[in-house]
Amino acid sequence: MTSRHQAPVEHHDRWPMPRGWPTRRVTVMVAWLLPWLLTVGLAVALHVLHSPEPVDEGSMPFVMAHDIVAEEVPRAVGPIDHLPGAQQAAFRFTSHFSPMPAPGPEDWLRIHPERGQTVQDYVDSHPNEPEPGDHIYILPLGRLPSERGPTTDELAEHARRFFGLPVVVLPVRPLVQLDVPSRVQGDHRQLNATAVLDVLQAEVPRDAYCLIAVTLEDLYPSDDFNYVFGLARLKSRVGVFSFARYHPAFFGEVPADDPGFTVDRRLMVRRALKVMSHEIGHMFGVEHCVHLHCVMNGANHLSEVDRAPMHLCPVCLRKLHLTLGFDPEARYRGLAEHYGALGLDEASDWAFQRAGYLRRERGG
């Protein structure tokens, strides 16, 4: 990697961040505090507008940032009164979810100030809808050793439980059979991810909802970008993502062939499942989330990927629910079991808590 500035998790031909983007000359403290100060200022402004009189002599009511989020999320979710009670609960903002953290100077939202996508925006975009018998296809590009990330069976099981469609893993395609441009960036070869998508787009199986490729080769979307973790197209139902940057050996922090150094495999599995969920989410028409901390948040670097949760927020969950019609409680329960089998205890506990909450809401 030749620059501290890193490319987005995916690219929709907008908000480019070219190599050489100048580093902002602000202190880390100011960069982190400023968004929260602006949020507090917004809260005060809202109360000046909506609370013309103080509660009592010399005092003024104050709304915390949490309260602003609690008002914004229902607006983004839209009407749910027609749903059964337990399903309504799945799309409410509760303590299980966290507001977006304040972006740092190199974080996605600081570089790409997106407006976000409400559920109504999602409906109006006319996302692709799966037909009966549709599958998610996974295509391995080159060898994927298990010490560098999840196996293809683990990827397939995650996609099945996360999106609720059957999954097919295609035979490994050797990289020598992939005729796409490449380049050398630092010490690593990179494949042109845009060209990979062009190849995939011509090969989408007839019974595929989408086709996603996975590789250990590093990726770049265009000459202006250093790299991407993954790339997907909202309408064309193709995507690709890479394990390359998940292991410290990629950055030269440890020798790649050092038998005395081990990395917790769960870290690399967690990263891979997040990025795959994110990219397949785009193929379902879900854009980047700005409403809550969510797996669909944009990520500009590996630290942002690590900070992001593995789950969808209520807004993004509702988008998938409209398209797929799953039972939210059963989905959470299935994901909890899956995460537990992978040793991802924190994600498993969270999903079990959500399933329990929805069970109580339906009176079970």
d(CA 289, CA 318) in angstroms, rounded, equals: 12
Q: Long-range CB contacts (< 8 A, 24+ apart) of 13-16?
A: 15/111, 15/112, 15/114, 16/222, 16/224, 16/225
User: What three-state secondary structure class fits 41?
Assistant: helix
H/E segment holding residue 154: helix 152-163
Task: Tell me if 33 sits within 8 A of 47, measured CB to CB.
Answer: no
Which residues are CB-neighbours of 78 under 8 A, at least 6 positions away?
118, 119, 120, 318
d(CA 236, CA 151) in angstroms, rounded, equals: 26
Kindly name the residue from 106, 279, 304, 329 that is annotated as catalytic: 279
d(CA 102, CA 108) in angstroms, rounded, equals: 11
d(CA 120, CA 317) in angstroms, rounded, equals: 13
Strands in the chain per DSSP E:
135-141, 167-169, 182-185, 188-192, 208-215, 218-220, 230-232, 238-242
Alpha helices in 284-344 (DSSP H): 302-307, 314-324, 328-341
d(CA 265, CA 147) in angstroms, rounded, equals: 6
d(CA 119, CA 78) in angstroms, rounded, equals: 7
Cross-strand pairs, 190: 183, 218
d(CA 360, CA 341) in angstroms, rounded, equals: 25
Q: Are strands 218-220 and 238-242 parallel, antiparallel or unpaired?
A: unpaired
Annotation says 57 is catalytic: no
One-letter identity of residue 92: R
d(CA 79, CA 348) in angstroms, rounded, equals: 29
Task: Provide the annotated active-site residues.
Answer: 279
